[in-house]
């Protein structure tokens, strides 16, 4: 058994369930000492649809991570998909006595004041996230404690999850033999794991492109300031291929990963594939044509993200300085290029950072959320951890410069109907979010 504190993240996704075990290192960093990933079962877009099967898969994932680490897991932080959360931004005010410094209880009072908003009884607060403070009209204050003033104000983003889905998740996790230490919004976890130090002074849009959902978090100066979820992910791309090429989903998945590209111009122009349909007939399709099937769905996802941000925060190009794409679906070749074209912003692929240990196992974008849960558990009040590791010097974000894309010929529309946008706007800010759950 290890002696240092252990923090465990359990990311229950649409396509996979991942457990990541982190151990707090002597110097304050975190080492990943265990990982276990299994196929997701009993889940649909972040909701439990079959308690027994989900419990079984969760148990397997935790057991696999326990075997690697030699540690027994007692409690876990669990991701909550954005489509099961709602958020409101609330303003809090605290009067400060004349000639007195602002103290911690004044800050708590301002936050409590902001929290005192009527919430649907069907919602449970997951995060209470204060943005920067305003003291006597002076904006942009990160920590007002010790300052003088008579009026302390704060905007607080309150993220709440729908009680039913949360109860089901909690029940599955408990039946798998562990306790829920806290629920964490998927987009928040992904951002905590992937944002670089230099991005913490900017506004950056983190887009986690999963199998069934695309979760969006807008981070302002390291704080989650807005979030949303789009119920479309990489599985929809696979389903488009399966339907149009008339092949099983598994084969469509293989073809997509091996030969697919988000932009036809990036596809291997000399490659032609022989496809055997479910009915046994064969036909040829070029990698270029394959990508023409893939592109519209990804374009749709990026358009919906644009709409969401435009509606709630303003034009994307003016709101943010960059976009970080993460999640498994971001691995498809050319996805960053397409996003760069759609957002007209620098775009980079986000991988988990700020960790030591089994980094070779958890280095991919599919592990952003699970690693983010562990970083959240370190207890930095939900802010992007300011940790510098020996193997990861503080560096400028690896953002690619936007480059105009070549004109693309019109692509055939996928035969599957585009799922309706049902993205829920959430907003966030953080402060001792996990205390709600302890
Ligand atoms: N190398 C790859 N190329 C293209 N797509 C990939 C690749 N690897 C994974 N994917 C896609 O990523 C998706 C799964 O991503 P991820 O593991 O982040 O999802 P998840 O966390 O299970 O789902 P969600 O977050 O939506 O609940 C699948 O649709 C899969 O096709
Ligand atoms: Mg995911």
**Mind listing the pLDDT tens digit for each residue in 131-165?**
889 999 999 898 899 999 999 999 998 999 999 99
Q: Is the distance from the beta carbon of residue 329 to the nearest atom of ligand 1 less than 6 Å?
A: yes
Gap from CA of 326 to ligand 1 centroid (Å): 10
412 in Cβ contact with 293 (< 8 Å): yes
3-state secondary structure 134-146: EECCEEEECCCCC
E strands, 221-377, where? 223-230, 272-276, 282-286, 322-326, 347-349, 356-357
Using DSSP's 3-state secondary structure scheme, residue 180 falls into strand
For the record, the structure tokens of 117 come out as 């908003």
Gap from CA of 380 to ligand 1 centroid (Å): 28
62 in Cβ contact with 76 (< 8 Å): yes
Run of H or E residues at 36:
strand 30-39
Tell me the H-state helices in 143-269.
163-175, 186-194, 234-245, 249-259
Q: Which has more pLDDT, 175 or 438? A: 175
d(CA 183, CA 188): 11
Q: Is 215 exposed, middle or buried, given 0-12, 13-18 or 19+ CB atoms closer than 10 A?
A: buried
Least distant ligand from the CA of 84: 1
Q: Is the distance from the beta carbon of residue 372 to the nearest atom of ligand 1 less than 6 Å?
A: no
Ligand 1 atom nearest the C-alpha of 45 is: 27
pTM over 0.75: yes
- Please give the pLDDT value at position 98: 86
Ligand 1 atom nearest the C-alpha of 215 is: 25
Q: What is the length of the chain?
A: 438
Q: What is the mean pLDDT of residues 374-384?
A: 74
Gap from CA of 210 to ligand 2 centroid (Å): 5
CA nearest to 295, candidates 273, 322, 266: 266
Ligand 1 atom nearest the C-alpha of 256 is: 4
List of domains in the chain: 85-158 (3.30.1490)
**Mind listing the pLDDT tens digit for each residue in 279-337?**
888 889 999 999 999 999 999 999 999 999 999 999 999 999 999 999 999 999 999 99
155 in Cβ contact with 90 (< 8 Å): yes
d(CA 227, CA 438): 24
Run of H or E residues at 336:
helix 335-343
Neighbour count for residue 15 (Cβ, 10 Å)? 19
Ligand 1 atom nearest the C-alpha of 13 is: 27
CA nearest to 356, candidates 386, 395, 398, 391: 391
In which band, very low, low, confident or very high, does the pLDDT at 117 lie, cut at 50, 70 and 90? confident
d(CA 391, CA 399): 20
Strand partners, 203: 220
- Please give the pLDDT value at position 385: 54
Least distant ligand from the CA of 16: 1
């Amino acid at each position: 058994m290890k002696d240092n504190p252990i923090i465990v993240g359990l990311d229950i996704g649409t396509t996979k369930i991942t457990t990541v075990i982190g151990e707090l290192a002597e110097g304050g960093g975190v080492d990943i000492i265990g990982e276990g990933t299994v196929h997701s079962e009993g889940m649909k877009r972040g909701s439990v649809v079959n308690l027994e099967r989900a419990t079984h898969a969760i148990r397997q994932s935790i057991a696999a991570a326990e075997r690697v680490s030699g540690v027994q897991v007692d409690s876990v932080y669990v991701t909550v998909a954005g489509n099961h959360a709602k958020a409101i931004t609330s303003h809090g005010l605290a009067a400060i006595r004349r000639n007195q410094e602002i103290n911690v209880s004044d800050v708590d009072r301002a936050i409590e004041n902001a929290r005192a908003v009527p919430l649907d009884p069907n919602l449970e607060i997951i995060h209470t996230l204060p943005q920067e403070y305003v003291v006597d009209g002076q904006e942009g204050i990160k920590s007002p404690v010790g300052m003088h003033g008579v009026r302390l104000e704060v905007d607080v983003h309150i993220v709440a999850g729908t009680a039913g889905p949360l109860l089901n998740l909690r029940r599955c996790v408990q039946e798998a033999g562990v306790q829920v230490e806290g629920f964490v919004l998927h987009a928040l976890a992904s951002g905590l794991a992937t944002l670089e130090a230099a991005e913490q002074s900017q506004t950056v849009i983190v887009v986690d492109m999963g199998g069934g959902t695309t979760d969006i978090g807008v981070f302002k100066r390291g704080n989650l300031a807005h979030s949303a979820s789009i119920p479309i992910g990489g599985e929809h791309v696979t389903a488009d291929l399966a339907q149009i090429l008339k092949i099983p989903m598994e084969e469509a998945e293989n073809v997509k990963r091996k030969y697919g590209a988000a932009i036809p111009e990036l596809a291997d122009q000399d490659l032609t594939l022989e496809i055997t349909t479910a009915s046994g007939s064969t036909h040829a399709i070029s990698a270029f044509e394959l990508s023409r099937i893939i592109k519209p769905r990804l374009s749709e996802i990026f358009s919906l993200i644009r709409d969401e941000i435009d509606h709630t925060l303003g034009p994307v190009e003016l709101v943010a300085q960059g976009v970080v794409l993460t999640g498994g679906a971001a691995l498809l070749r050319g996805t960053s290029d397409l996003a760069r074209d759609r957002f007209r912003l620098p775009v980079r692929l986000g991988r988990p950072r700020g960790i030591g240990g089994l980094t070779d196992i958890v280095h991919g974008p599919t592990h952003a959320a699970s690693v983010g849960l562990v970083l959240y558990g370190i207890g930095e009040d939900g802010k992007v951890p300011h940790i510098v590791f020996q193997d990861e010097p503080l560096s400028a974000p690896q953002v690619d410069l936007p480059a105009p894309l070549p004109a693309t010929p019109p692509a055939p529309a996928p035969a599957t109907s585009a799922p309706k946008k049902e993205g829920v706007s959430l907003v966030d800010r953080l402060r001792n979010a996990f205390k709600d759950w302890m």
